[in-house]
């Protein structure tokens, strides 16, 4: 697989361009396998299991539930999970993710009876439902398990308690840790004339979102924003220093302390314009995400942190991403959820939450894991920006080449740039940059996808194929 930088070129593919009118979808074979389903009933959840299907045309499994239909099948009865890794043969049902298009709402009710089954989805378009199990759901109906049970709506938000120490290294602002469910971050503030500086009126120096951080050294290494004294502190001059705590319910300024700045001066030598390497910038963003420096990213994006949005996206996207992963560190979950919620640069911000979640799903589908290290997170950011990842996976590329042949009725020539692009987009889910998307082209791509697959795109993998058809430039 070539590692060259790749930027999508929008190509509108009308149906006749690849000869689809004379090539209808292949007929389903008559030896499609029916899932054999069993269940383990636990104290607070149900684990569905089924025998692995090794059919070469299998696309994946849909986990299907109904309260009223004794023969539930996808798509008529919706689905809970779409499992494209065909070696996965179990699913824990515990209300950690919402049900789609069911007859009972988004979540199961404790003590209620439901019909459970698995539908095998084949590449030819056929869907085969397995045997049905009629079981009582034992788990909790409460899907808001991340919410603190204590009602803090009428409790005052804590006021930061600030202390100061000064040396030739700069002014060290410290504060007592705030442990509150409504906490959103800290702003380090200072003023020359206001004895009670607070954000946003007096600007800020640093935005800190890590609740475990309880100090910051002010040493002229970064510019102050919107202050009353310019961008940098002057040696031997007095300033009022404080911290403003940000909560979901508002902002609270801590006590202010007058202190003389004795740290280093700020030197501003004239430097030539520097062109930032996009790959280096993506590596930096991965470091910031994994290094609990979300505030630096939010500063660049001109966004404030929203714990509420993060909690909503955890339920909407993150839970389904980690549901079938054996063990994921909380720091990794936080990193992925923050990427989905905010993005890391202008392009990923403009893509939107759904597209950013699809990037992580595509990474997971391609590599069988979530991005955990700096290199892996960098690759996820590259994918979101339409760039080849540094790491590759032969199995993912093989699956993409199978789809390529189904679409174009020939083998992919990986030495040909358009074929290479088509396979790469399908294998790794490279996204079209937000400013280059062409909705008219994508409409034609959806039509082409529907003609080939006899359905509209549903899964992230489906939409990756649609992106490939629309933007790669490959032809029959």
355-379 residue pLDDT tens: 999 999 999 999 999 999 999 999 9
- Per-residue pLDDT, 107: 85
- What are 449's two structure tokens? 């996808």
Global pTM?
Answer: 0.63
CA 457 to CA 345: how far, in whole Å? 28
Strand-pairing partners, residue 186, are 208, 245
pLDDT per position as a tens digit, 141-186: 444 444 444 445 567 889 999 999 999 999 999 999 888 878 889 9
Per the CB < 8 A criterion, the answer to whether 26 and 15 are in contact is no
CA 366 to CA 222: how far, in whole Å? 39
Q: Rounded to 10 degrees, what is the CA torsion of 227, 229, 234, 236?
A: -110
Among 65-69, 121-125, 139-143, 144-148, the range scoring the smallest mean pLDDT is 144-148
- Per-residue pLDDT, 27: 54
Q: In the predicted model, is pLDDT for residue 351 greater than 70?
A: yes
CA 435 to chain centre: 20
* Number of residues in the chain: 476
H/E stretch holding 356 reads helix 353-367
- What are 18's two structure tokens? 């690849």
- Per-residue pLDDT, 307: 85
Question: Going from the N-terminus, what domains does the chain have, and what CATH number goes with each?
Answer: 15-20+392-471 (no CATH), 37-136 (2.60.40.10), 162-261 (2.60.40.10), 278-384 (no CATH)
CA 235 to CA 261: how far, in whole Å? 5
pLDDT per position as a tens digit, 242-299: 999 998 888 999 999 999 999 999 886 655 666 678 899 999 999 999 988 999 999 9
Pairing mode of beta strands 113-122, 133-136: antiparallel
């Amino acid at each position: 697989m070539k590692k060259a930088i790749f930027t999508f070129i929008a190509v509108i593919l009308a149906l006749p361009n690849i000869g689809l009118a004379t090539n209808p979808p292949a007929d389903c074979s008559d030896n499609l396998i029916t899932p054999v389903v069993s269940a383990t009933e636990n104290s607070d959840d149900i684990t569905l299991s089924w025998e692995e299907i090794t059919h070469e045309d299998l696309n994946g499994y849909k986990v299907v539930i109904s309260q009223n239909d004794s023969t539930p099948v996808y798509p008529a009865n919706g689905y809970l999970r779409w499992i494209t890794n065909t070696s996965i043969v179990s699913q824990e049902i515990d209300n950690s993710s919402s049900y789609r298009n069911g007859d009972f709402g988004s979540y199961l009710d404790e003590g209620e009876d439901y019909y459970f089954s698995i539908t095998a989805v084949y590449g030819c378009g056929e869907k085969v439902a397995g045997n049905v199990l009629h079981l009582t759901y034992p788990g909790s109906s409460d899907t808001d398990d991340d919410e603190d049970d204590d009602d803090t709506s009428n409790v005052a938000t804590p006021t930061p308690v600030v202390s100061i120490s000064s040396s030739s290294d700069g002014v060290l602002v410290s504060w007592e840790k705030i442990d509150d469910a409504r906490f959103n971050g800290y702003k380090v503030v200072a003023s020359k004339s206001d004895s009670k500086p607070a954000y946003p009126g007096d600007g800020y120096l640093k935005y800190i979102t890590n609740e475990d951080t309880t100090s910051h050294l002010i040493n002229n290494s970064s510019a102050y924003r919107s202050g009353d004294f310019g961008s940098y502190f002057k040696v031997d001059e007095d300033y009022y220093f404080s911290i403003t705590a940000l909560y979901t319910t508002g902002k609270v300024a801590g006590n202010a302390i007058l202190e003389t700045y004795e740290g280093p001066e700020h030197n501003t030598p004239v430097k030539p314009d520097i062109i930032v390497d996009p790959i280096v910038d993506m590596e930096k963003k991965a470091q910031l995400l994994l290094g609990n420096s979300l505030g630096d990213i939010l500063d660049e994006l001109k966004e404030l942190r929203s714990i509420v949005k993060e909690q909503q996206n955890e339920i909407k996207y993150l839970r389904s991403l980690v549901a079938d992963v054996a063990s994921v560190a909380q720091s990794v979950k936080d990193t992925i959820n923050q990427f989905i919620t905010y993005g890391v640069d202008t392009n990923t911000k403009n893509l939107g939450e759904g597209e950013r979640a699809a990037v992580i799903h595509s990474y997971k589908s391609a590599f069988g894991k979530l991005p955990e290290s700096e290199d892996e997170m960098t690759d996820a950011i590259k994918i979101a920006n339409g760039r080849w990842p540094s790491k590759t996976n032969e199995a993912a590329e093989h699956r993409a080449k199978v789809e390529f042949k189904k679409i174009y009725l020939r083998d992919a020539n990986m030495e040909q740039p358009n074929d290479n692009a088509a396979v790469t987009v399908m294998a790794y889910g490279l996204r079209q940059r937000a400013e280059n998307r062409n909705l008219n082209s994508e409409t034609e791509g959806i039509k082409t996808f529907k003609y080939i697959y006899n359905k509209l795109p549903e899964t992230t993998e489906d939409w990756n194929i649609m992106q490939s058809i629309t933007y790669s430039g490959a032809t029959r």
